Structure 1
């Protein structure tokens, strides 16, 4: 008989920071926002960055 097991590990600080960085650009988007709202937010952010 074969035993299947999964090892769960706690994310390192570097991994947790990297995950935060990947989601940071969506921090202003409301929870439950749909694709359209997300695209609008990203477009506005991009437009604002090019004007600086």
Structure 2
């Protein structure tokens, strides 16, 4: 059984990580699903 999606799994970014996560700017470290959803919904309304 893989633990890749465990709540305690906090992968570190790698040097070759080219993902664009600028849509998450302004969120506090450790934000949960609800905070992320609300943040994205606010950005969408702007």
| Bucket of the pairwise TM-score, normalised by the shorter protein | 0.5 to 0.7
Which of the two has higher C-alpha Rg?
A: 1
Q: TM-score, normalised by structure 2?
A: 0.58
Q: TM-score, normalised by structure 1?
A: 0.52
Q: Give the equivalent residue in structure 2 for 1:27.
A: 25
- Note the residue ranges of structure 2 that are not aligned, 5 or more in a row: 1-14
Q: How many aligned residue pairs are there?
A: 32
Dislocated runs of 4+, deviation >6 Å: none
